[in-house]
Structure 1
């Protein structure tokens, strides 16, 4: 059983129109879907190596509080109550106190020191998920934090979850882009996340998740054809991959990482 404690392992879209969102992402990313739960109103999304997340409607109480469509990430926890208290004492905040999801596990919603939100989850089943292989189609290939407080957030995640720092890349006026590893590695191949100061164009601090696709240009065409909005890219990143950031038709921000058939084309 894989130990996902301290690592993102599940990703969830809360949206205003689940069926339309599922149609968009299954075309753009290549997922298959399956219903989950007694009412089948939570839809699992499945990549090449198995389930990786779910899609659900924004709960009415959350909608009343102003929630708009967004992608959230779950970090594994061995003890949600203890971890929530520890993270709050370390400068985070408890946005939703620990509670049980019948048949799923125990979760809590946490804010980091800069204001970005993530969830803790301890599954109720002893059977764990196997991590996908690197660059598995449809799965999250990169996790990126637009930090509301770069120094405090970096210290928070490395100190509380044991993430390790890799190289830091100078982005000029935008500050540093800090590579980190959720699994404690120190070499570039094990880096699976990045932390950077929140750009002025980003309205709030948030975690952004990059789903792995094949040809990035073909994926951009699918995004546009499906009613999505390209925000940035395609842009080449170290290692030879190409990325985009975009909005889905309901307004949730997401990102893709892929390859380019002709790497000699302009970014």
Structure 2
């Protein structure tokens, strides 16, 4: 499991609105997690839990931290990996701590400031869900501060390897990366108009045009018109009604 994305979390300003939005767009079911002392909603695709939803921490907006999706990457020894984040040029923003009966997590950033979370689970991993299954996260994309520096950082921490690289002309190289031989995402040096590096997550839907209609009807802003990518899939990128950036991927228009 080391180096595998295993969880996703949306921190937002309006949980009820976000729950209604994503259950409609992606087709997830939602239920309260029953966590003492905090509101936390679980999104599921069928019997598989995919993501969590929570209100943004106090003070986040004042610090100009916008609503955002956060990805959790599994590690074998979270304390060891968190220590290595700093030596590899990243930063630990929340030191490893326990989630009772679930595991340990830490929130970190890469050398250019893209945020993600480390996670070490208690017990056995959940049942496997195919990467392109409906409602799962089919792709993980890093708009990096610098492609080569970022790839070295993540490869050293998680063992990710380079897969196919695509020359995007003036936009530079798009480097697909793999976990244990399976391509799971891509990275590229961010365009100048993107203010800061970030991770973007692509949720699987059946057909991109219908999903775009649902998203826009729900108040999303379309950032990238539907585009066909190598392999024949279609993608689109958005900000949700509260301002979090997300993307969709589908096998057809």
The normalised TM-score by structure 1 is 0.90
Alignment deviations for residues 82-111 of structure 1 (CA, whole Å, 9 cap, x no partner): 111012111111122222233332111111
Cα displacement (A) at 1:27: 0.4
> Aligned in 2, Cα 1:41/1:213: closer, same or farther, shift over 3 Å?
same
Counting matched residue pairs gives: 252
- What CA distance in whole angstroms lies between the structure 2 residues aligned with 1:40 and 1:89? 34
* Whole-Å separation in 2 of the counterparts to 1:139 and 1:107: 21
Matched, 1:149 2:131: no
- Greater Cα shift, 210-219 or 96-105: 96-105
Q: State which drifts further: 170-179 or 153-162.
A: 153-162
Q: What corresponds to 1:257 in structure 2? A: 249
Following TM superposition, where does structure 1 have runs of at least 4 consecutive aligned residues deviating by more than 4 angstroms? none
With over 3 angstroms needed to count, the CA separation of the structure-2 counterparts of 1:246 and 1:129, relative to structure 1, is same
CA distance in 1, matches of 2:88, 2:128: 29
8 Å contact from structure 1 (residues 16, 68) kept in 2 = no
Indicate the SS of the match to 2:101.
coil
Change (3 A) 1:40 1:60: closer
Equivalent in the alignment of 1:54 = 52
> In structure 2, what is the Cα distance between the partners aligned to 1:167 and 1:120?
26
What SS does the corresponding residue of 2:206 show, helix, strand or coil? strand
SS at match of 2:84: helix
Per-residue CA shift, 1:192-229, capped at 9, x if unaligned?
A: 11011111222210000000000100000001100001
Task: Give the corresponding residue for 1:92.
Answer: 90
Match of 2:216 in 1: 224
Change (3 A) 1:218 1:54: same
Q: Note the 1:190-229 alignment, pairs <5 A.
A: 190-229=182-221
Q: CA 1:40 to 1:94, structure 2 compared with 1: closer, same or farther past 3 Å?
A: closer
Q: Distance in 1 between matches of 2:46 and 2:112?
A: 34
Residue 163 of structure 2 corresponds to residue 166 of structure 1:
yes
8 Å CA contact retained: 1:29, 1:213: yes
TM-score norm. by structure 2 comes to 0.95
Question: In 2, distance between residues paired with 1:170 and 1:197?
Answer: 12
- Which residue, out of 139, 142, 145, partners 2:136? 139
Do the aligned residues in 1 keep the contact of 2:29 with 2:46 (CA within 8 Å)?
Answer: no
After superposition, the CA RMSD in angstroms is 1.4
What is the distance in 1 between the residues matched to 2:191 and 2:46?
33
- 2:175–2:186 CA contact under 8 A, matched in 1: yes
User: Is the contact made by 1:114 and 1:150 (CA closer than 8 Å) also made in structure 2?
Assistant: no
